[in-house]
Amino acid sequence: MIVGTLFESIFDNKTHKGIELPSFEHFEEVLYKLSKKTRKDKKDAELMSPAIYTANTTRANDNVEYWGGWCAVDVDDADLTVDLKKYIRSKVGNHYYVCYSTASSTKEQPKFRLVFPLTRPVKKDEIKHFWFALNKELGMIGDIQTKDLSRMYYIPADYTDANNFFFVNNGTPIDVDALTLDDAKQMLDNKKE
């Protein structure tokens, strides 16, 4: 099950509109369909978040209960000396992900979002450690400013004047427990040295 929250705009803080899909494959289909819809710019687009909030609250880190079986990473500084798909593969390995361009993506500087399925939801008190462990696993390609619990992401679209792309790698979901355990072990080993 994939769940999350939808927002009308960057200024929307109401948390009552939800995403609920039976699988990541269904989520992938929705994202693909959205990527084909023409939009002038990101001001024209809704936003989504993996965060589920306490009922009758607004969007804030304190009100997040968990992430609903998926996460996203923003990448703004890809290595342009290699093919984009090869670059992502070198960082992500064989994980299942959806990659879609953002409204500010250009041919000279592709900017994109990687959306991953998770093996389970991530509880509020695990999110920060999980995000940092994931970004570390990905070679620190994620925009460090997008780490907050209640982060929203613009949906994919065919943005006017942007370098638009959408592709998928069918691999393995991110194992939340293995990733955070490996990171914790590595931190302990570093302290012993």
Q: Given this model, what pLDDT does residue 188 score?
A: 45
- pTM as predicted: 0.90
DSSP 173: P
Q: Given this model, what pLDDT does residue 13 score?
A: 95
Which tens digits make up the pLDDT trace of 61-104? 999 999 999 999 999 887 676 788 888 888 898 999 999 999 99
Q: Given this model, what pLDDT does residue 77 score?
A: 82
Backbone phi, psi, residue 179, to 5°: -65, -45
Kindly tell me if the per-residue pLDDT of 24 is higher than 70: yes
The helix/strand/coil state of 191 is helix
Q: Given this model, what pLDDT does residue 186 score?
A: 54
* DSSP H/E element including 5: strand 2-7
* DSSP H/E element including 100: strand 97-101
Q: Given this model, what pLDDT does residue 107 score?
A: 87
The alpha carbon dihedral of 42, 19, 17, 175 has a sign of negative
